[in-house]
Structure 1
Amino acid sequence: MLTYHFNHELGIPMYEYLYQCIKNDIIQQKLQANEKLPSKRVFAKHLQVSLITIENAYNQLLIEGYIYSIEKKGYFVNSIEYPEIPTQTVPTILEKPQIQYFIDLRTNSISLSNFPFSVWSKLTRQVLNSQNSELLIRAHQQGCLELREAICEHLHAFSGMNVSPSQIVIGAGTEYLYNIVIQLLGRDQHYALENPGHRSIAKVYQLNNVHYQYISLDHDGLNIDELKKSQAQIVHISPAHHYPTGISMPIQRRLEILKWATQQHTYIIEDDYDSEFRLRGKPLSTLYQIDQNERVIYLNTFSKTLAPSFRMSYMVLPPHLVQLYHNKFAFSACSVSSFEQIILAEFMKQGYFEKHINRMRNSYKMIRDELLTQLQQSVIHQDINITEENAGLHFLLHYHSSLSDVAIIEKAHNIGLNIATLSQFYEQPFESQTLVVNYSGLSLNDIQLAVNLLIQLLSRQ
């Protein structure tokens, strides 16, 4: 007779414990195929449990196929062929330990003191207390209407763009929206990328198995002659502030690229990732704004304006692509939770977003100015040259060194400094003798240490 000792400290129902015991004996072949199990009444009396406990355990084993029953004969162990247990254990994949740096001048980040925690907490409570039914329903495929309307108002106020909420698609990060664009326009298209540029964009295209090529830059941005000679049908550019060179594309080059797209019936993906933080003069007009032929797909993100942890970006589709989007993605829901979208919508509608951008712009300008001042007053000031410091949250630091770019990065890591060289963003690396300095994560208190580490990095001793 099967005998099991019940452990009441496990915190699970008795029938579930019994079911687990019998199942384990079947899997370990302690109970053989077609072996008869005790009758329910006899088993209950033997184990000193209720009949319902035995019935529930047997019923669960029946449902899962471990046993079968024959009317008026009882319950029997099923014949089950188990796969052979592998002799080798599955290798454990160890994550690389995250390196801790004294100063990070590479990663897009934000100082803790700059995030509006109190306002965000207040709005979170307001949204929860409102008991808005939209918090609990399936999100619209393009995102919550409330947030799309707020984005429309922001784009009109900030850059003069006139768009409809029906044109906006909200997604969990810009990389996610890149994937959506590829699925929307087709994997059979030929894409073009700026060289240099973010390597993550090329990774998205590689994973989608699409053809792409790099187009080099000149002093005005994307080389139009090279673009015309290419096989590109879709080109990805950041005309307001190219990363990492910092180039702002002049109006003539913008019009030339728009003319190319119109004549070729192709599309331009405009990545306007940090236009809110132009530190001198007015924001530049977007390519979307001056496009008269619906050739531009506009992308922007809240990761720069709020924090990298906000995996929330949006794109503005040309009107004629909206129906195609609906046809292809009608089955899907928005990839960002309604809860986060509604809080952000309130943040924008109540004027906090505009105030936050203005405050951040002033803060970044103060940090940049202090960082540049200390560099110009440092012992290496004659050996460096700063360019492209007036737009966005990074600048280029040109230097003279006998070390290769690879050696400079290795030296930087050894002294606790995370930074990138310009050459790392090119398709074919070369000796750039240029650092890309991202100061978005610095506070005023960090600047002295950052300058000291840069001096140590670039010192000729």
Structure 2
Amino acid sequence: MLTYHLDPKSQTPLYEQLYRAVRGDIMSGTLAAGDKLPSKRQFAAHLRVSQITVETAYGQLLAEGYLVSEPRRGYFVQKLAALPVREPTRAAPQAAPVTAPMDAVKFDFRTNIVDTGCFPFSIWARLSRSVLSEYSERLLRAAAPGGARELREQISRYLHDFRGLDVSADRILVGAGSEYLIHLMIELLGRDRVYALENPGYRKLYQIFAVNGAAVRPLPLDESGLRVDALRQSDASAVYLTPSHHFPLGLVMPAGRRTELLHWAAAAPDRYLIEDDYDSEFRYSSRPIPALGELDHAGRVIYVNTFAKSLAPSLRIGYLVLPEALMARYRETFSLYSSTVPSFEQHTLAEFMRSGGFERHISRSRKVYQSRRDALLAALTRELSPIPFEVSGAEAGLHILLQVKNGMDEQTLIARALQTGVRVYGLSGYYTPPVRPPRATLVLGYAGLTETEIAAAVKLLAKAWR
């Protein structure tokens, strides 16, 4: 029987201690592929913890792909590719949009929005006054090219505590949003290399890479995320990924696929995985999935994130975490660049994070968005009951996928919805040929609608699609 020392006095919950212990044994090879784990009841009795503790730990390991559950047989270790070690030192075509006068749209299920009512205005105002008083003249001087030290240290702490990344502030670059950071990353990696992008994927990425003169290869996905066989057959030497919550499909990349990608990156010089940690804060069915960079022991993962979804898009603050080799290249070539984020905003955000305000804000926002997701799922079940439909991608993020099986195609569904004053969006717009999207599938973002508005909007959709 597996035996682990769990400390009930630790600030780390017992389920997380058990999860980390089992995960560590899987990653080290102590638990081999195919090994059967004890039943929840036996394991709980052996460790003298509750069955809920074991069930929660197993649930997280299942979500991350370290375990597989077989009905009436139990839990088994999933096969993982061996992790590598550190080495020595164009725009996607879109379907024509269905348009309507702005005043005809009553409800809009757009995805590029957050609820501004969640923003902590009073706390932000108080911290702003404090920063003005404390830093005064320093705010008028040019910020360090990579960002204020105070903010980079707080980001480093946050990544350690909540994303499983152990990175120093010296490897973090702060910049004005994802578009600027991607531009800087392309400058660092080179315009002459080929970049692989997920297909389907965030369509704006294709435009950003094209504007920067970089060649891209759209690569297909399967149920585990980007297909490594397609990546190996391509001429790409860098790949842009959303492993913790794929947009728009909502897939979570399991541990096995992550290790395969890390192995691909380490198999040749100067290959990189670019991890966009999209919507990582908003996971509802389990704790947040650890970042891909947590498994990177060869310095091949570039981590990208912003505060656009977690705080507000207009804040225009994002950051890169660079491997040491790329950070050295940045210091040598690009340290003459001025910071693109004002010192005032950087110090205010740093204080917000230092005081614990950011963590509390994320917790409150997660509850708000989970309630809206639940309201949307309940409304769909209630109002669309005569119409066959399927929902996917509801476990995390701020949108769901809705496949409607009433005989209408995607464009008809969108047009009929718009006639009732509801704007919805087709999944096909995120695909690049020859990969074909599922039939009659819509992307519904719910962050910008209240629960009352969601109920009213779905009632109109039911009317439009019957």
User: What TM-score, normalized by structure 2, do the two folds share?
Assistant: 0.75
In the alignment, the residues of structure 1 paired with residue 419 and residue 316 of structure 2 have an alpha-carbon distance, to the nearest angstrom, of 31
Q: Does 1:332 align with 2:337?
A: yes
- Counterpart among 199, 203, 208 of residue 212 in structure 2: 208
SS of residue matched to 2:320? strand
- Counterpart among 442, 446, 464 of residue 439 in structure 1: 446
Deviation at 1:195, TM superposition (A): 0.1
Query: Partner of 1:455 in structure 2?
Result: 462
In the alignment, the residues of structure 2 paired with residue 381 and residue 275 of structure 1 have an alpha-carbon distance, to the nearest angstrom, of 35
Contact kept, 8 Å, 2:387 with 2:405, in 1: the verdict is: no
Contact kept, 8 Å, 1:144 with 1:342, in 2: the verdict is: yes
Deviation at 1:296, TM superposition (A): 0.3
- Counterpart among 279, 303, 307 of residue 302 in structure 1: 307
SS of residue matched to 1:377? helix
CA displacement 1:368-389 (0-9 Å, x = unmatched)? 1122112111144642111121
Deviation at 1:402, TM superposition (A): 3.5
Letter in 2 for 1:392: G
Describe the shift of the 1:134–1:97 C-alpha distance in structure 2 as closer, same or farther (beyond 3 A).
farther
Deviation at 1:124, TM superposition (A): 1.3
Deviation at 1:119, TM superposition (A): 0.8
In the alignment, the residues of structure 1 paired with residue 367 and residue 384 of structure 2 have an alpha-carbon distance, to the nearest angstrom, of 28
- Counterpart among 192, 196, 202 of residue 196 in structure 2: 192
Could you tell me which runs of 5 or more consecutive residues in structure 1 were left unpaired when the two chains were aligned.
Answer: 1-95
Query: Partner of 2:14 in structure 1?
Result: none
- Counterpart among 281, 284, 288 of residue 279 in structure 1: 284
In the alignment, the residues of structure 1 paired with residue 334 and residue 136 of structure 2 have an alpha-carbon distance, to the nearest angstrom, of 26
In the alignment, the residues of structure 2 paired with residue 114 and residue 271 of structure 1 have an alpha-carbon distance, to the nearest angstrom, of 23
Contact kept, 8 Å, 1:268 with 1:297, in 2: the verdict is: yes
Describe the shift of the 1:98–1:341 C-alpha distance in structure 2 as closer, same or farther (beyond 3 A).
farther
SS of residue matched to 1:275? coil
Describe the shift of the 1:352–1:97 C-alpha distance in structure 2 as closer, same or farther (beyond 3 A).
farther
Deviation at 1:237, TM superposition (A): 0.5
SS of residue matched to 2:252? coil
Contact kept, 8 Å, 2:392 with 2:400, in 1: the verdict is: yes
Contact kept, 8 Å, 1:219 with 1:247, in 2: the verdict is: yes
Map 1:388-399 → 2, pairs under 5 A? 388-399=393-404
- Counterpart among 265, 276, 288 of residue 261 in structure 1: 265
The aligned length equals 364
- Percent of matched pairs sharing the same residue: 42
Could you tell me which runs of 5 or more consecutive residues in structure 2 were left unpaired when the two chains were aligned.
Answer: 1-98
Contact kept, 8 Å, 2:175 with 2:340, in 1: the verdict is: yes
Q: With CA pairs under 8 Å and 6+ residues apart, which has the higher RCO, 1 or 2?
A: 2
Q: Could you say which structure has the larger radius of gyration?
A: 1
In the alignment, the residues of structure 2 paired with residue 283 and residue 114 of structure 1 have an alpha-carbon distance, to the nearest angstrom, of 20
Deviation at 1:456, TM superposition (A): 3.0
Map 1:394-433 → 2, pairs under 5 A? 394-428=399-433, 432-433=439-440
Describe the shift of the 1:292–1:380 C-alpha distance in structure 2 as closer, same or farther (beyond 3 A).
same
Question: Over the residues paired in the alignment, what is the CA RMSD in angstroms?
Answer: 1.8
In the alignment, the residues of structure 2 paired with residue 414 and residue 342 of structure 1 have an alpha-carbon distance, to the nearest angstrom, of 47
In the alignment, the residues of structure 1 paired with residue 165 and residue 235 of structure 2 have an alpha-carbon distance, to the nearest angstrom, of 31
Describe the shift of the 1:98–1:177 C-alpha distance in structure 2 as closer, same or farther (beyond 3 A).
farther
Describe the shift of the 1:284–1:107 C-alpha distance in structure 2 as closer, same or farther (beyond 3 A).
closer
Deviation at 1:113, TM superposition (A): 2.5
Describe the shift of the 1:160–1:430 C-alpha distance in structure 2 as closer, same or farther (beyond 3 A).
closer
Describe the shift of the 1:292–1:430 C-alpha distance in structure 2 as closer, same or farther (beyond 3 A).
closer
In the alignment, the residues of structure 1 paired with residue 171 and residue 384 of structure 2 have an alpha-carbon distance, to the nearest angstrom, of 53
Query: Partner of 2:323 in structure 1?
Result: 318
User: What TM-score, normalized by structure 1, do the two folds share?
Assistant: 0.76
Contact kept, 8 Å, 1:421 with 1:432, in 2: the verdict is: no
Describe the shift of the 1:138–1:409 C-alpha distance in structure 2 as closer, same or farther (beyond 3 A).
same
- Counterpart among 346, 349, 352 of residue 344 in structure 1: 349
- Higher mean alpha-carbon deviation, 315-324 vs 406-415, is at 406-415
Describe the shift of the 1:97–1:448 C-alpha distance in structure 2 as closer, same or farther (beyond 3 A).
closer
Contact kept, 8 Å, 1:302 with 1:313, in 2: the verdict is: yes
Describe the shift of the 1:167–1:98 C-alpha distance in structure 2 as closer, same or farther (beyond 3 A).
farther
Letter in 2 for 1:393: L
In the alignment, the residues of structure 2 paired with residue 109 and residue 162 of structure 1 have an alpha-carbon distance, to the nearest angstrom, of 30
Describe the shift of the 1:170–1:131 C-alpha distance in structure 2 as closer, same or farther (beyond 3 A).
closer
